[in-house]
Structure 1
Amino acid sequence: MAFTHALVGAALAAPVVAFAPELAVPAVLAGMVGGLVPDVDLFVGRHRRTLHFPILGWALALPAVALALFAPGVATVAAAVGTVSFAVHAGMDALGAGDEVRPWERTSREAVYDHLRGKWVEPRFWIRYDGAPEDAVATAILAAPVVVFYPDPFPAIATACVVLGVGYAVVRRRLPPVVEEFVG
């Protein structure tokens, strides 16, 4: 669920919020954006393949983190948090269901594509599907520290993510017929 990915990106910025608050806003924004960017492949290319890199994403993230540690600044810290969030996204997708309209039916064995090995990673179903009740709970848990400790405007954004995520979870299983009619 996009809201969960965004809040994981915000959570990855927690050390910056705690130890370099002057860099918090760009770090949290970069984390949230980095957590959402892989899903652009819903519209361009093949979802969970074109912009999802469960292994290779770390080849970008780890040097960015090293650079931020040795030369901390707005750009380097934001790049580090954003690229780590980007890399974590694909791993999170592998922990859920496959990329299918009705993921609770478990008809797909393709959670996310591993470009390094040239094969699909199978879904783990730790969270049964995007928008499952446990996904909404994860979103709420991730939002809690953002609401309590993060600077404005992030508490409001986190609250909105929870409200929208719970709403999505309520209607998720009713969406396939709507999607099928819309897409054809």
Structure 2
Amino acid sequence: MMATTHALWGMMLALPVLAVAPEFAPIAFVAGLVGGATPDLDLYTGHRKTLHFPVYATVATIPALAAALVEPSPVTVALAVGLAGAALHAVADVFGGGLELRPWEGRSDRAVYSHYHGRWIRPRRLVRYDGAPEDLLLAVSAGIPVIVIADGFVGAVALSLVVVSGGYAVVRKPLAGVAERLVRLLPTALLPYVPTRYRGT
């Protein structure tokens, strides 16, 4: 799924905070966005393995949520929403396409690495690839409630993410070929630092 989809769903997790403890809503929205997007920082270093923790992040979210409910504070609320966003990201990627440049071809059997199980979880492909129409639908479905309910700045951020999502969805498939062509222009010395999927292998 798109990083923007994950960020928007992370932000949507902050909506209950806005409803019950609005004083913590700003930090909750930031934490949701950051938590939802952060796992994809491993894009060039073991993507969907280095920072994706479908089991551990989910388990860690439970005591974090409990702490936020028992002793709400900016720190506990941010930790709970941020971890929930990161966990949702890792689990949601299981339902996407495989770890390949063209996931719509369905050749990869790797969706997300489970450190708990010590193996890759296979892709379920309910969302066929990042930027697919169904991925865009998920981004919009998370973005609309945030845009409508949250205040001006948070709503504007969510709207920006939805717009970026739409643009990416339009160009996603052609980008695969562009990436391969750009990689072929790189000096040979840099190729070991480029993920295999971008090298067309």
TM-score, normalised with respect to structure 1: 0.96
**Structure 2: runs of 5 or more not aligned:** 185-201
Which residue number corresponds to residue 143 of structure 1?
143
Structure 2: distance between partners of 1:151 and 1:37 = 23
* Cα pair 1:30 1:78 within 8 Å, conserved: yes
Shift of 1:6: 0.5
Indicate whether 1:54 and 2:54 are aligned: yes
Code of the aligned partner of 1:7: L
Give me the whole-angstrom Cα distance separating, in 1, the residues matched to 2:9 and 2:156: 16
Aligned to 1:96: 96
- d(CA) in 1 for partners of 2:15, 2:103: 32
The equivalences for 1:1-184 within 5 A come to 1-43=2-44, 45-184=45-184
* Stretches of structure 1 lacking an aligned partner (at least 5 in a row): none
Give the secondary structure class of the aligned counterpart of 1:175: helix
RMSD: 1.0
Shift of 1:59: 2.9
Aligned length: 183
Aligned residue for 2:194? none
- Return the offset for 1:160: 0.9
Instruction: Give, in angstroms, the shift of residue 180 of structure 1.
Output: 1.3
Give the 3-state SS of the residue equivalent to 2:31 in structure 1.
helix
Amino acid in structure 2 at the alignment position of 1:144:
I
Aligned mates of 1:114, 1:183 — CA distance in 2: 29
Q: Which amino acid aligns with 2:126?
A: W
Distance 1:89 1:2 in 2: 9
User: For the pair shown, which has the larger CA radius of gyration, 1 or 2?
Assistant: 2
> Partners of 1:153 and 1:177 in 2: how far apart?
36
Distance 1:59 1:136 in 2: 28
